[in-house]
Amino acid sequence: MRSFLKTKTAIALALSVTAGSAVADGHGGVEVLHWWTSGGEAAALNVLKGDLEAQGIGWTDMPVAGGGGEQAMTVLRARVTAGDAPTAVQALGFDIIDWANEGALANLNDVAAAEGWDDVIPAALQQFAKVDGAWVSAPVNVHSTNWVWANKAVLDANGIAVPETWEGFAAALDTLSAAGVTPIAHGGQPWQDATVFDAVAMSALGPDGYRSAFIDLDPEALGSDAMKEAFDRMAVIRANVDDNFSGRDWNLATAMVINGEAGFQMMGDWAKGEFLNAGEIPGEDFLCFRFPGTQDQVTFNADQFMMFDQGGDVSAEQAALATAILSPSFQSAFNVVKGSVPARTDVSDADFDACGKQGMADLAAAAESGNLFGSVAHGHANEASVKNAIYDVVTAHFNGEYDSETAVAELVTAAEIAQ
Amino acid sequence: MALSANADFKTRLQNWLPKLVLSPTLALVMVFVYGFIIFSAYLSFTDSRLLPSFDWVGLENYSKLWRLSHWKVSITNMGVFAVLYIGICTVLGLGLAIFLDQKIRGEGLIRTIYLYPMALSFIVTGTAWKWFLDPGIGLENVMQSWGWTSFEFDWIKDSDFAIYTVVLAAVWQTSGFVMAMFLAGLRGIDNEILKAAQMDGASNWNLYRRIIIPQLRPAFLSAFVILSHLAIKTFDLVIALTGGGPGRATELPATFMYSYTFSRNQMGIGAASATIMLMAIAAIMVPYLYSELREKK
Amino acid sequence: MSMATQDTAIRTGRVVRTFIYLVLLLFALFYTLPLYVMVVNSFKPLGEITGGGMMNLPRAFTFEPWAKAWSTAQIGVDPTGLSPYFWNSIKMVVPAVVISTILGALNGYVLTKWKFKYDTIVFGLILFACFIPFQIVLIPMAKMLGIMGLAGTTWGLVLVHIVYGVGFTTLYFRNYYAVFPTELVRAAQIDGAGFFRIFWRILLPSSGPIAVVSIIWQFTNIWNDFLFGASFAGADSQPMTVALNNLVQSSTGVKEYNVHFAGAILAALPTLLVYIVAGRYFVRGLMAGSVKG
């Protein structure tokens, strides 16, 4: 009798353990792989989760932080190779195109047609969401990287107006340096060095030069004198950061600007969230302006959720997720929190702050005038291998390994090997 | 007649049983280790980028690999790191073990203190040391706030010295374990031999040099195997401590392979680097293991 | 049979002993410092940390970071803290440790007491498998797990850890059994005992110490693994290390160092506990030459 009970308990235990691990599917809901794990980002994502739950769709969260998505991309490869792809995955730029080319993504054309995506999403953005005529991902936002953020009090105290040209900017740096303020707050990580390089290169090369060098990967453009000028300007920036910059996280650099230790930071518009969280008001406590020389251009990167083929037609849940992401109400609510601007051009800017409004206006204008370019630093100008090769050169140059001429030569070689 | 057939079967079973028992492990290892190594080596000759592809491109990935200064930096770092890490851990481990073997009061406590770092994951170690070594909030700042204003310790931000911080953190993590291995080895040495040598007038120094240390050969083997495998696999520590930086100053082959395979979508080059890593490991470990295991016969 | 004692025949003078104690204490400090920094700062409110003074004891002692790390910290889209993932790790680690240790013991037994042709080569093959960096096997393993239908499950992870841990456990047991008197085995064979009975009755009872070593080693490695846990776990089997990584790598907002440290120590508690409790058996277990005739 006793042994029978024991066996029964044992079986029951075994079953409960295996049963627990059998419900790992997420079917009947959506499984989302992403790296938005910190407070503000998670809050933004929760808006989407709430939207779906109101429709009765479950949300299985699969967060993998680290490296700005690096770890998540590794996990994604493992999942796809194992035949167990998540429903939706946060991704940027060329990565989406790469996955589409592997045939792993679902075709969202029905949803796109029903919602009229073709009309409201800028062409430059569609390049990454629509591959070979098929919509494969839903853009969540548009970040821009050629912003400069400044502490207004520090600038006023030193008589500096918003610089309009590179020369004006360099002069402002000198003024701050003489006053004992760190001119530029910077974090020495490859992607941050490259984010600064985005704007600097645009200012030195101009939009056409930027396009031939980074998007067309023309070796002549990559090896041009204008490129050398870009690196020279990077050297000036390097001379104007504090000694402890290496490895610093970007939000710690923003903190330096917020508390007046530094005057400027070149960073994407996700930095705005830090200022807002510190209770600062755009235009009064902090300034946002385009990098001098790039006032008419917008270098962008867009977070998107690429939808993976779940074996057959787009499921109702996937369609609901895609629709929810592109709904104007979500676009507004999400981007107000995140600091970026909506991926749809027909969303009202009523809820956005001054910098957000400017961002939306700049985006629309740049899209119209053909000045909307993908950011090199964030994988929207060229593919991952080239992007990283450029990181290597920019970082090595920034850390003093190369002088400007060597950097230009290395850039040409690196781009060639990476293709 | 039936009896001997039974006995035959039983003996045959007994002959086969050991191999049968060993075979699952062997099978797992052949498939999941050597099979995968062959797969990886094959990939290094293909044009794999985002995911494995099977289109042959010959030695193209290898030629690209050797043109990358990034790769050369990784290899140099590996050499520096491995030599220092294995060397210092061995010397430190042996030294501490010898000291601890001297009938020390509180040996249990000290041993636990030396051993616990091994319990931590490399991510935790990296994060703790990253903080500790940061000039702004770590040791340098503390020393300066205590009055020693000229104290400088910014190795972690210095391209030339950052690799030594990785060595430091890694040594901190594992030297206690090496010490435990040597301590166990020391405790296993027959005291009679030592007493006899002492009666012959041998000094402590000679006792150690001539008798004790040579008898520690098995411990040296284990230590070398454990330390080299850790050195090769060092990945989490670098990512947590320096992220490969400043710039690329602390890149190691493991981090190189990872980034080229998984972030840069150049799986072919990643596979090539992995194959070279494995060949280098084999070149060192196979002769060493061969010589050590042969003797045990 | 003289058991190896803690006594050594070496004699040391006063000066040397003082020097020895000094060195040992210095290194004890070296090993404790980083943990001290983490612990001390995990009990401070955030303002005190950003104010500097990493080594100072907390002025405003608080348990809040610990509570937060355990139950309310932001890990993904929900603020769940580390607690749900703790159980995931346990579910995965225990079977993996047990199975790989048993396999290792059996392998060590076979390789030392049942010699056959090529057995050294087989051991070498198994041993060399310890060296394979995990990044290399990630993709092919994912494929295999998919084929076997184990992707995203706890058992898939268990299998992975068994495969890559059995080399070590085999090494430990093999070295241990190598110095175990073979005469006892032969005697039992003559008495008619079979393969498993010899193992169960003769070797296993004396295997306590090395089993402890193997268990500690495997437990530590598997509990602390990140790469396999992140890549092969499904959304509801993600281990503790993945959650900790998500906690610590937060990229926006203020970095709550105190919560990070509390989280890191929480994640390390099981392994720390294992080392502290079983530490003394550890050295004993490594004493392969302790059973002398």
> pLDDT tens digit string along A220-237?
999 999 999 999 999 999
CA of A306 vs chain B CAs: smallest distance (Å):
16
> Is the pLDDT at A14 greater than 50, yes or no?
no
Locate the chain A residue with the closest alpha carbon to B135.
A244
d(CA B117, CA B138): 19
C167 belongs to a structural domain: yes
d(CA B218, CA B231): 20
Question: Beta strand pairing status for A141-144 and A341-342?
Answer: antiparallel
For C201-215, how does the pLDDT look when each residue is reduced to its tens digit (9 = 90+)?
888 888 888 888 899
Q: Among C103, C141, C275, whose Cβ lies nearest the Cβ of B119?
A: C275
Q: Is residue C159 domain-shared with residue C229, that is, in the same domain? A: yes
DSSP-assigned states of every residue in C34-102: HHHHHHHHHTS-HHHHHTS-TTSPPSS--SHHHHIIIIIS-SSSS---SHHHHHHHHHHHHHHHHHHHH
For B52-77, how does the pLDDT look when each residue is reduced to its tens digit (9 = 90+)?
888 898 899 999 999 888 899 999 99
Q: Is residue C112 domain-shared with residue C186, that is, in the same domain? A: yes
Residue A218: predicted pLDDT: 92
C260 belongs to a structural domain: yes
Locate the chain B residue with the closest alpha carbon to C287.
B184
d(CA A78, CA A47): 28
Say which CATH number the domain at C237 has. Answer: 1.10.3720.10
d(CA A137, CA A128): 8
Q: Is residue C30 domain-shared with residue C123, that is, in the same domain? A: no
Q: Is residue C67 domain-shared with residue C116, that is, in the same domain? A: no
d(CA C70, CA C82): 5
Q: Mean pLDDT, to the nearest integer, of A36-41?
A: 78
> Is the pLDDT at B87 greater than 80, yes or no?
yes
> Is the pLDDT at A10 greater than 50, yes or no?
no
> Of residues B296 and A370, which shows the higher confidence score?
A370
- CB count, 10 Å around CB of B209? 12
Residue B121: predicted pLDDT: 86
- The tally of domains found in chain C comes to 2
Q: Among B33, B132, B281, whose Cβ lies nearest the Cβ of C37?
A: B132
* B30-38 CB contacts, 8 Å cutoff, 24+ apart: B30/C125, B31/C144, B32/C137, B32/C141, B32/C144, B32/C163, B32/C164, B33/C128, B33/C129, B33/C132, B33/C137, B33/C163, B34/C125, B34/C129, B35/C140, B36/C132, B36/C136, B36/C137, B36/C140, B36/C141, B37/B278, B37/C132, B37/C136
| Closest to B269 (Cα-Cα) out of C225, A388, A73 | A388
CA of B149 vs chain A CAs: smallest distance (Å):
17
Look at C252 and A251 and tell me if their CB atoms are within 8 Å. Answer: yes
From chain C, the residues in CB contact with A70 under 8 A are none
For B202-248, how does the pLDDT look when each residue is reduced to its tens digit (9 = 90+)?
777 777 787 888 888 878 887 888 898 888 888 888 888 887 778 78
Three-state DSSP class for A34?
strand
- Contact status of C204 with chain B (Cβ, < 8 Å): no
Residue B3: predicted pLDDT: 56
Over chain B, what is the mean pLDDT?
A: 85
For B119-174, how does the pLDDT look when each residue is reduced to its tens digit (9 = 90+)?
888 888 888 898 888 887 788 877 777 777 777 788 888 888 889 999 999 999 99
The secondary structure element, H or E, covering residue A387 is: helix A384-398
Q: Is residue C26 domain-shared with residue C131, that is, in the same domain? A: no
Is the distance from CB of C122 to CB of B22 less than 8 angstroms? yes
For A239-283, how does the pLDDT look when each residue is reduced to its tens digit (9 = 90+)?
999 888 887 888 889 989 998 899 999 999 888 888 888 888 998
The chains found to touch B (3+ Cβ pairs under 8 angstroms) are: A, C
Return the ∠ at Cα A42 (arms to A310 and A55), rounded to 5°: 50
Residue C114: predicted pLDDT: 83
| Closest to A266 (Cα-Cα) out of A243, A244, A294 | A294
- Contact status of A63 with chain C (Cβ, < 8 Å): yes
Residue with tokens 């790296």: A35
From first CA to last CA, the distance across chain A in angstroms is 71
Locate the chain B residue with the closest alpha carbon to C135.
B258
> Is the pLDDT at A11 greater than 70, yes or no?
no
Query: Minimum mean pLDDT among B267-271, C263-267, C280-284: which range?
Result: C280-284
Q: Is residue C123 domain-shared with residue C249, that is, in the same domain? A: yes
CA of C262 vs chain B CAs: smallest distance (Å):
11
Look at A396 and B248 and tell me if their CB atoms are within 8 Å. Answer: yes
Q: Is residue C116 domain-shared with residue C48, that is, in the same domain? A: no
From chain C, the residues in CB contact with A251 under 8 A are 251-255
Residue with tokens 């593919």: A383
So what's the architecture of B65-296 in CATH? Orthogonal Bundle (1.10)
Q: For chain B, list residues whose CB is within 8 angstroms of any CB belonging to chain A.
A: 49-51, 64, 67-70, 134-136, 154, 156-157, 159, 242-243, 245-248, 258-259, 262-266
Of C52, C72, C92, which residue sits at a domain end? C72
> Of residues B17 and C12, which shows the higher confidence score?
B17
For A342-358, how does the pLDDT look when each residue is reduced to its tens digit (9 = 90+)?
998 888 888 888 999 99
d(CA C134, CA B37): 11
From chain A, the residues in CB contact with C76 under 8 A are 34, 37, 42, 61-63
Whether a cis peptide bond, with omega within 30° of 0, leads into A63 is no
> Is the pLDDT at A210 greater than 80, yes or no?
yes
For an interface test with C, the pick among A17, A21, A76 (most C C-beta atoms closer than 10 Å) comes out as: A21
**ipTM for the whole complex:** 0.82
Residue C252: predicted pLDDT: 67
Q: Is residue C169 domain-shared with residue C236, that is, in the same domain? A: yes
Over chain C, what is the mean pLDDT?
A: 84
**Using CA of residue A81, residue A83, residue A88, residue A94, what is the dihedral sign?**
positive
Which pLDDT band, with edges at 50, 70 and 90, does A171 fall under? very high
Locate the chain C residue with the closest alpha carbon to B33.
C129
For A306-320, how does the pLDDT look when each residue is reduced to its tens digit (9 = 90+)?
999 888 788 888 999
d(CA C50, CA A299): 34
> Is the pLDDT at B106 greater than 80, yes or no?
yes
Look at B115 and C267 and tell me if their CB atoms are within 8 Å. Answer: no
Alpha helices per DSSP H over A2-108: 2-22, 39-54, 70-81, 94-101
Which pLDDT band, with edges at 50, 70 and 90, does C288 fall under? low
> Is the pLDDT at B290 greater than 50, yes or no?
yes
- Structural domains of chain A, ranges and CATH numbers in brackets: 27-142+301-363 (3.40.190.10), 144-300+369-418 (3.40.190.10)
Q: Give percent helix, percent strand, percent coil of chain C, each to the nearest 5.
A: 70, 0, 25
C4 belongs to a structural domain: no
For C212-268, how does the pLDDT look when each residue is reduced to its tens digit (9 = 90+)?
889 988 999 999 998 899 889 888 888 998 888 888 877 666 778 888 889 989 989
Q: Among C132, C170, C196, whose Cβ lies nearest the Cβ of B25?
A: C170
Residue C93: predicted pLDDT: 95
Residue B296: predicted pLDDT: 52
From chain C, the residues in CB contact with A84 under 8 A are 146, 151-152, 234
Structural domain including C196 reads 84-286
From chain B, the residues in CB contact with A77 under 8 A are 50-51, 262
From chain A, the residues in CB contact with B51 under 8 A are 77, 80-81, 102
d(CA C260, CA C247): 7
> Of residues A29 and A147, which shows the higher confidence score?
A147
For C68-82, how does the pLDDT look when each residue is reduced to its tens digit (9 = 90+)?
888 888 787 778 888
> Is the pLDDT at C162 greater than 90, yes or no?
yes
Residue C7: predicted pLDDT: 56
C61 belongs to a structural domain: yes
Residue C117: predicted pLDDT: 80
pTM, whole model, 2 decimals?
Answer: 0.85
DSSP-assigned states of every residue in A297-356: -EEEE-EEEEEBP-SSSPPHHHHHHHHHHH-HHHHHHHHHHHSSEESSTTS--TTS-HHH
d(CA A197, CA A304): 23
Query: Minimum mean pLDDT among A172-181, A406-415, C108-117: which range?
Result: C108-117
> Is the pLDDT at A385 greater than 70, yes or no?
yes
Q: Mean pLDDT, to the nearest integer, of C74-102?
A: 89
Q: Mean pLDDT, to the nearest integer, of A360-389?
A: 90
Residue B5: predicted pLDDT: 60
Q: Which residue ranges make up each domain of chain B?
A: 65-296
> Is the pLDDT at A8 greater than 70, yes or no?
no
Q: Is residue C67 domain-shared with residue C211, that is, in the same domain? A: no
> Is the pLDDT at A59 greater than 60, yes or no?
yes
How far, CA to CA in Å, does A47 sit from each of A64, A72, A332, A338, A341? Answer: 19, 21, 11, 11, 16
From chain C, the residues in CB contact with B267 under 8 A are 139
Residue C6: predicted pLDDT: 46
Q: Is residue C91 domain-shared with residue C63, that is, in the same domain? A: no
> Is the pLDDT at B30 greater than 90, yes or no?
yes
Residue A412: predicted pLDDT: 93
For A92-133, how does the pLDDT look when each residue is reduced to its tens digit (9 = 90+)?
889 999 999 988 899 999 999 988 899 889 888 999 999 999
For C104-148, how does the pLDDT look when each residue is reduced to its tens digit (9 = 90+)?
999 999 888 888 888 888 888 888 888 888 888 988 999 999 999
Residue with tokens 């060296």: C131
| Closest to A140 (Cα-Cα) out of A267, A67, A36 | A36
Over chain A, what is the mean pLDDT?
A: 86
> Is the pLDDT at A19 greater than 50, yes or no?
no
Q: Mean pLDDT, to the nearest integer, of C259-288?
A: 83
For an interface test with C, the pick among A41, A62, A254 (most C C-beta atoms closer than 10 Å) comes out as: A62
Return the ∠ at Cα A402 (arms to A396 and A408), rounded to 5°: 95
> Is the pLDDT at A9 greater than 70, yes or no?
no
What type of residue is C260? H
- Contact status of C46 with chain A (Cβ, < 8 Å): no
Q: Is residue C60 domain-shared with residue C143, that is, in the same domain? A: no
For an interface test with C, the pick among B30, B78, B113 (most C C-beta atoms closer than 10 Å) comes out as: B113
d(CA B289, CA B161): 33
CA of C9 vs chain A CAs: smallest distance (Å):
52
